[in-house]
């Protein structure tokens, strides 16, 4: 994502979240926190949090066998990928190695 667009989205999201929280402060706390219907006032906060989570940089995990997959299935999957993948290009010819 373009850094300027990302910064603009983060600024707009922060402003919207702050204005919503300021709007929530006009209500009495017994109306929002102590009643069973008060949770409805906080549900609109969830999309703001999702935008923040989507703006985080992606994590690159280790490439290996997933914890839930058995060793046999993982090896079978690797063999299937090797069969379907094209052969690697031949190495480029370079000068011969020095003798000595």
Work out the pLDDT band at 10, boundaries 50, 70, 90. very high
- Among 38-42, 76-80, 83-87, the range scoring the smallest mean pLDDT is 83-87
pLDDT at 22 over 90: yes
pLDDT at 99 over 80: no
pLDDT at 61 over 70: no
- Spell out the domain ranges in the chain: 3-54
Mean residue pLDDT of the chain comes to: 84
Residues 27, 33: Cα–Cα separation, whole Å: 10
Residues 87, 85: Cα–Cα separation, whole Å: 7
């Amino acid at each position: 994502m373009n850094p300027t667009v990302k910064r603009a989205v983060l600024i707009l999201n922060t402003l919207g979240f702050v204005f919503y929280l300021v709007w929530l402060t006009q209500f009495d706390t017994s109306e929002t926190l102590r009643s069973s219907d008060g949770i409805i006032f906080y549900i609109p906060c969830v999309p703001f949090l999702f935008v923040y989570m989507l703006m985080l940089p992606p994590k690159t995990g280790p490439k290996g066998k997933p914890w839930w997959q058995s060793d046999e299935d993982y090896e079978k999957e690797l063999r299937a990928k090797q069969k379907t993948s094209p052969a690697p290009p031949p190495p480029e010819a370079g000068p011969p190695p020095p003798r000595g």
